[in-house]
Amino acid sequence: MDYFEWILVMFTCGMVNFFIALSSLKKFLALNSGIDSLLNLENLKEMVRKQMYQALLAIVFFGGMGVLGCIGIITRRLDSTQFVLFLILNGIVWAAGKSAKSIEKRAQNLSVSNPNLSDEYKSICRTWIRKPFPDF
């Protein structure tokens, strides 16, 4: 397998992971317009756990792609065309992440009609934003 093909494999795996995570997030939002019961909160926890683990996978795939690309540039294993393609792939990753962030923010700013669930909802969202692993 050619050096640049490994970069493409990492990119493809990362994008598949991205679209699976995005699909899960959109599905949750379609089924839950707010947090009004313990069941909604449990569904949120399940979705957030998956999102957090998929974010770690994204770091492996896209980080690996970046490391391979940088090594390829430094060691001159990438020709000028591959270098430009590498930059385009990174642009796609950046744009995809930027576009998905607004959907993620919607899930982190749902209305909570039951005041008893509000603190736990905020705690879950704080963990989702700040920690690498779920602690709930």
Which pLDDT tens digit goes with each residue over 4-55?
999 999 999 999 999 999 999 999 999 999 999 999 999 999 999 999 999 9
Assigned domain for 61 exists = yes
What whole-number distance in Å separates Cα of residue 100 and Cα of residue 95? 9
Structural domain tally of the chain?
A: 1
The amino acid sitting at 99 is S
Assigned domain for 135 exists = no
Domain carrying residue 121 = 16-130
What was the pLDDT predicted at 136? 87
What was the pLDDT predicted at 42? 95
What was the pLDDT predicted at 1? 86
Assigned domain for 2 exists = no
User: How much of the chain, in percent, has pLDDT values that exceed 70?
Assistant: 100
Do the beta carbons of residue 136 and residue 45 sit within 8 Å? yes
